[in-house]
Amino acid sequence: AVALTAVIPTIVAASHRRARSIELIEPRAELGHAANLLWMMEGKDASPDRVHWLDTYLVLLADHGLNASTFTARVIASTGSDLTSCLVGAIGALKGPAHGGATHAAATMLEKIGTPENAEAWLQDAHARHARFAGFGHRVYRTYDPRAKILKEMAKTAAPKLYKTAEKTEEVALRILHEAHPERPNATNVDFWAAVVLTGVGIPKELFTCIFATSRVAGWTAHVLESLADLRIMRPASVWKGPQPGTKPLPLASR
């Protein structure tokens, strides 16, 4: 588990450099986890502030209950499979845009809005087209994501210019959502402010999901080890929603 937690950021940094035809860089034993990731990506020492911002993000996103990717890892673990296979499955689940891709979507939305002055018109137009606002709403939380509060405060110094656009975007988006659906718990989630912080750190947005995986691997491995210690295969029951008993089948000619 410790080795996988260490090797994932090494793979992320190596793939980032290889895609740009840049020489790969070895990790340095004297550097911490976040500092090493930035070193292997960029080939230079990152400032203490950038290391702190990234380290805080990695800690905040390390685990979050039985989310889709963690559940996937635990299902695989319940079969008695190995730790690496469990993480491969978890990464496959995280790759989905509804899970690990949300931070990238939030960054793209903020890029399109551009300035605080554009937020109102852009979001009103998106709402009229029934487009979703990236970075808002959560499957579990019915209030402001506590992780987002920490990232929002950090974003003030990590990305001050983008922070102003994000702050106005958040204000307008929450107002529109509340006016349209007052019965729903419309709140900002962790992906919205994570996009601002990671941008401030200097992480390219195409790597946001990979950085998410770099963080979440600690949680995945902990869950898998817990599952392996009490090996019971997961076999949820399913409910049939097709034709009820007694329904006449369609004639072959009509199928």
The residues assigned a catalytic role are 138, 191
Q: Cα dihedral sign for 69, 74, 80, 82?
A: positive
Give the whole-angstrom CA distance, residue 159 versus residue 255.
59
End-to-end CA distance of the chain: 52
- State how far the Cα of 43 lies from the Cα of 68, in Å rounded to an integer: 34
List all residues 6 or more positions away from 244 whose beta carbon is below 8 Å from its beta carbon: none
Long-range (24+ apart) CB contacts under 8 A made by 184-187 are: 184/137, 185/141, 185/142, 185/143, 186/136, 186/137, 187/136, 187/137, 187/138, 187/141, 187/142, 187/143, 187/144, 187/145
Give counts: helices (H), strands (E), the chain. Answer: 11, 0
Instruction: Kindly state the tokens that stand for 54.
Output: 């990234």
Q: In sequence order, what DSSP letters do the residues of 54-86 get, joined into one string?
A: HHHHHHHTS--SS-HHHHHHHHHHTTT--HHHH
* Residue among 196, 71, 186, 75 at smallest CA distance from 138: 186
